[in-house]
Amino acid sequence: MSVLLTDDATIQSLNRQYRGMDKPTDVLSFSQLEGDELAAPQRLIGDVVISVERARDQAQEYGHSVAREIGFLTVHGVLHLLGWDHEEPQEEAAMMAKTEEILRSVGLTREAP
């Protein structure tokens, strides 16, 4: 997979082009796999694009470091590539729990900035 750290203008352009939403967002995931292909061994699973500007703003808003926010967005994007979603409250709770579990395992706890 690839990870692109970019700015709001670039991520807004991608969001408009691929999702029809003309606004910046924090993270986008583009899967290279579809449906049953998720179970098959592959070399490239997709791309994660993160707005560093959004990450900085959100880190300040949530009261933690930019490193933790970028880690959070990276894990969030990768989980999407692996088939996780958060459309329903139960899915969102499960995805957040998995995200926090992964962040704790690499030492990115909810510390102050």
pTM of the model: 0.73
Please tell me the predicted confidence (pLDDT) of residue 91. 95
Nearest to 77 by CA among 58, 57, 102, 60: 102
Collapsing DSSP to helix, strand or coil, 96 comes out as helix
Q: Which domains does the chain have, with CATH numbers?
A: 2-105 (3.40.390.30)
In degrees and rounded to multiples of 5, residue 56 shows phi and psi of: -60, -50
Tokens for 107, please give them. 């030492």
The per-residue pLDDT for range 1-10, each reduced to its tens digit, is 789 999 999 9
Q: From residue 72, give the alpha-carbon distance in Å to each of 33, 35, 102.
A: 22, 25, 9
